Amino acid sequence: MASLSLKNICKKYPNGFEAVKDFNLEIEDKEFIIFVGPSGCGKSTTLRMVAGLEEISSGELSIDGRVVNDVEPKDRDIAMVFQNYALYPHMTVFDNMAFGLKLRKVPKEEIKQKVEEAARILDLEKLLDRKPKALSGGQRQRVAMGRAIVREPKVFLMDEPLSNLDAKLRVQMRAEIASLHHRLGATIIYVTHDQTEAMTLGTRIVVLKDGIIMQVDSPQKLYNQPNNLFVAGFIGSPQMNFLDAVCKIEGDKVSLKVGENSIVLPPAKAKKLIDGRYNGKTVVIGIRPEDIDDSKVALEAHKDSVFNTKVTGYELLGSEVLLYYTINGTSMTAKVSSNTPARLGDPIKLAMDVNAMHVFDKETELTITH
Amino acid sequence: MLSNHKLQVTLEEIKEISRIDLALYSDKGKLLASTYQSEEEMEDAIRFFADSMAESQMLSGCHFFKILIENELEYILLARASSEEAYMIGRLAACQVRNIVSAFREQFDRNSFMQNVVLGNMLVVDMYNKAKKLHIETAQRVVYIIEVSQKKDGVVMETVKNLFASTTRDFITEVDERSVILVKDVRDIETEDGLASLAEMIVANLQTEAMVQVRVGYGNRVDLLQDIARSYQEAKMALEVGNIFYVEENTISYANLGIGRLIYQIPISLCEMFLKEVFGEKVPDIFDEETTVTINKFFENNLNISETARQLYVHRNTLVYRLERIEKALGLDIRTFEDAMLFKIALMVISHMNYQKSSTEQEVEGENE
């Protein structure tokens, strides 16, 4: 397997469109790295530049210390799995997996050994004689993976490999890919727009927007300590709630005024706003739905951040309930226990956990405190 | 034509099963394939047998068989033994060779027929007669052109062939070094999204299997054989227009070329006139990186100054200053819809002219070489 280094990578098309801007990333050997972001953020373009299927406009790409900008894709020792990938309909699973090796004139015995090994890893041994139409969606996807595995590449590149599968199968395949990474000990770059996929699979996640890296971190850190409003809003489902507030600093005490309510920040968070001289400025409060509660304990514990509102939407998820409401004209969501007595149209008191609160600069959208 | 190697392999396989040596000669007595080393000169015996009325004969310890393709004598097969078993194996081998050659010839004819149809090299009357003979039915079809960034190798053709090998309704052919043509029967692909998915699937498979950069252009659906040439021309145009205006796209449909289709068809003289009208005598040379990025981002954000400034990480006033500078240089205030539209079209016209100019230069260079 291999390490990768992307230094100041840019992709600019002749019409002036910049798909990727100054992309810097070090990927370690055996890492499972995820590129995530909305459609058009440059994640697939970056992946294709790594593969050599897209020219690098400027910057340097190295695999295992060797600069590969001018190396042909087939000589980069990589394998890819795409979402639109199709199996050869007239070939058996074995032949589908062997096809690429046959084209490369690999000896028959070696092909047999590699295909059988890949089939064992992917639990496809009993299906080797079947044709694609006799396979389920998940099995077909495993065969597609098998075609990449038999090449024994240094790096696997996967571009939304699960997006053509239904929700149930996606969850199942997600677990299989995670276990595959563990078994192969492979370096994997995985592109997705699905933040759940990113959070569950990656050892590190690269969040992209408009061709720029917004943050590179572990899933836990991205969730708990987002660098900016975009990452905070993109990671987490349901997404983080955002509220505009005016900052008021009185000595060591910092309060954030939302309509008639004032939220007093704990000292550690308050210090960041004092140091940043935010007195009188509008900031953005970020609070995750799971950090808003209507239980007695929460209302008691966070007396300074209790809001009176009305339930405008109620969704039972099983053990939890999503409550929709508005504060100061902004739509909000709370994820509370299903024991809540609140129902659609009820007046309700909700408390925000100030310790879990994030505050962002309204202008730069960067995090002030989390 | 079918290679002698394939015939050799066939004879060897039959020998492996039957233990009977076989040899295949042309009707003129030339040895094409054999499972044994012959010590005798067989040319005269072959000619003698070819001229005779017999369909099979025993000569010099061998069974001789005639192989007729479309009622014409093409090959003579020899089974080296005089036994009954050798006679039977010889007949089976002759039958096998005849079928292989016929199937190959039909496939070859079908492909070259479709090549001529695609290029518009056939009269409509001939087209339908030949199609009937080759069992090519009338169907709704779309032409896909798969353009490879470098000179293509066998892997590209092999991959495409295998993707569509399970149906005899599709045709795969090539007319130059950098592209593969797929004439796809699309009766079971009802939507435009389906056509687009097919194009994306081809790109994904070639990128994965052949590891080459490819772009796929495709034309509109056509129902008649003589219209396949039109679908091919449309696919070609889709690729060309895509090369000018939609470089970041890997798949381009003729049906979705947008304003690029219109601009592509404007003659260069009219383009020059238009640019003169917009910019005056000389196109202003202000397109440095900063200006290009600013303008593109401003258009991407639907002329929204605050959002553009935020995304460019510059102060709103800085952006306004840049836009004013652009106005001074161009005489166009791109903050207004009218001027923004004019400027966007002018940029596309410039791209079109640059592309045409570089294509002409390449052609001249090619001729000089």
Residue numbers in chain A where pLDDT is lower than 50 = none
Q: Which two tokens stand for residue B235?
A: 């696919």
Across chain A, what does the average pLDDT equal? 91
Mean pLDDT on B128-138: 86
What is the DSSP code string of A180-247?
Answer: HHHHHT-EEEEEES-HHHHHHH-SEEEEEETTEEEEEE-HHHHHHS-SBHHHHHHSSSSPPEEEEEEE
CA distance A113 to chain B (A): 20
Q: What is the pLDDT of residues A134-175, one digit of tens each?
A: 998 888 888 988 999 998 898 999 999 888 788 888 888 888
**Across the strands, what pairs with B68?**
B73
Count other Cβ atoms within 10 Å, centred on residue B121.
11
Of A287, A193, A190, the residue nearest A245 (C-alpha): A287
Q: Provide, as residue numbers in chain A, all residues whose Cβ is less than 8 Å from the Cβ of B209.
A: 99-100, 103
Torsion over CA of A194, A197, A201 and A205, rounded to 10 degrees? 20
Q: Which of B163, B207, B293 lies at the smallest CB-CB distance from A86?
A: B163
Distance CA B328, CA B321 (A): 11
Q: Provide, as residue numbers in chain B, all residues whose Cβ is less than 8 Å from the Cβ of A85.
A: 201, 204-205, 208
In A, minimum Cα distance to B156 occurs at A103
CA distance A248 to chain B (A): 25
pLDDT of residue B231: 96
Measure CA A19 to chain center: 19
Q: What is the pLDDT of residues B165-218, one digit of tens each?
A: 766 789 998 888 889 999 999 998 989 999 999 999 999 889 888 888 899 999
Of B123, B103, B109, B104, the residue nearest B225 (C-alpha): B123
Task: Output DSSP code: residue B166.
Answer: T
What is the DSSP code string of B22-74?
Answer: EEEEETTS-EEEESS---S--HHHHHHHHHSS-SEEEETTEEEEEEEETTEEE
Q: Which of B207, B209, B292 lies at the smallest CB-CB distance from A53?
A: B207
Distance CA A252, CA A248 (A): 11
CA-only gyration radius of chain B, Å: 31
Contact between A40 and A21 under an 8 Å Cβ cutoff? The reply is: no
Q: Provide, as residue numbers in chain B, all residues whose Cβ is less than 8 Å from the Cβ of A18.
A: 293, 296
pLDDT of residue B300: 85
Q: Give the least confident one: B2-11, B258-267, B283-292.
A: B283-292
Contact A74 B211 (CB under 8 A): yes
Please report where in the chains the tokens 């400034």 appear, as a residue.
Answer: B309
pLDDT tier, B312 (very low <50, low <70, confident <90, very high otherwise)? confident
3-class state of residue A40 by DSSP: coil
Q: Which two tokens stand for residue B121?
A: 């090299």
pLDDT of residue A1: 66
Contact between A65 and A27 under an 8 Å Cβ cutoff? The reply is: no
For residue A165, which amino acid is it? L
Across chain B, what does the average pLDDT equal? 87
Instruction: Give Cβ neighbours of residue A338 (< 8 Å, ≥ 6 apart).
Output: A316, A317, A318, A319, A320, A321
Count other Cβ atoms within 10 Å, centred on residue B166.
15
Pick among B152, B155, B208, B312 to test the A interface (most A CBs inside 10 A): B208
CA distance B206 to chain A (A): 9
Q: Which two tokens stand for residue A279?
A: 């007195």
pLDDT of residue B286: 60
Distance CA A245, CA A248 (A): 9
Kindly list the distances between the CA atom of residue B47 and the CA atoms of B29, B57, B62, in Å, as whole numbers in the listed order: 6, 13, 15
pLDDT of residue B369: 65
Q: Which two tokens stand for residue B331?
A: 């005489």
3-class state of residue A368 by DSSP: strand
pLDDT of residue B1: 60
pLDDT of residue B255: 94
> Would you put residue B60 in left (φ > 0), alpha (ψ -120 to 50) or beta?
left
Q: Is B275 exposed, middle or buried (0-12, 13-18, 19+ CB in 10 A)?
A: middle
Contact between A348 and A323 under an 8 Å Cβ cutoff? The reply is: yes
Kindly list the distances between the CA atom of residue B68 and the CA atoms of A299, B52, B72, B73, B96, in Å, as whole numbers in the listed order: 96, 14, 5, 4, 12
**ipTM score for this prediction:** 0.76
pLDDT of residue A141: 86
Higher pLDDT among residues B105 and B20, named by residue:
B20
Contact B209 A53 (CB under 8 A): no
Query: Kindly report the CA angle at B33 between B28 and B35, in degrees rounded to 5?
Result: 130
Please report where in the chains the tokens 């954000």 appear, as a residue.
Answer: B301
What is the DSSP code string of B307-362?
Answer: HHHHHHTS-HHHHHHHHHHHHHHHS--TTSHHHHHHHHHHHHHHHHHHHHHHHHHH
pLDDT tier, B11 (very low <50, low <70, confident <90, very high otherwise)? very high
Distance CA A229, CA A245 (A): 15
Q: Provide, as residue numbers in chain B, all residues whose Cβ is less than 8 Å from the Cβ of A44.
A: none
Q: Provide, as residue numbers in chain B, all residues whose Cβ is less than 8 Å from the Cβ of A80.
A: 207-208
Q: What is the pLDDT of residues A354-368, one digit of tens each?
A: 999 999 998 888 999
Pick among A18, A47, A80, A88 to test the B interface (most B CBs inside 10 A): A88
Contact between A139 and A127 under an 8 Å Cβ cutoff? The reply is: yes
Contact between B264 and B237 under an 8 Å Cβ cutoff? The reply is: yes
Distance CA B213, CA B247 (A): 13
pLDDT of residue B166: 65
Task: Output DSSP code: residue B222.
Answer: B
pLDDT of residue A260: 84
pLDDT of residue B187: 92
- Angle, helices B289-300 vs B337-368, to 10°: value is 130
Helix (H) or strand (E) holding A20, with range, is strand A18-27
Instruction: Give Cβ neighbours of residue A323 (< 8 Å, ≥ 6 apart).
Output: A294, A311, A313, A314, A333, A334, A335, A336, A340, A342, A348, A350
Q: Provide, as residue numbers in chain A, all residues whose Cβ is less than 8 Å from the Cβ of B245.
A: 15
**Across the strands, what pairs with A12?**
A18
Contact B211 A52 (CB under 8 A): yes
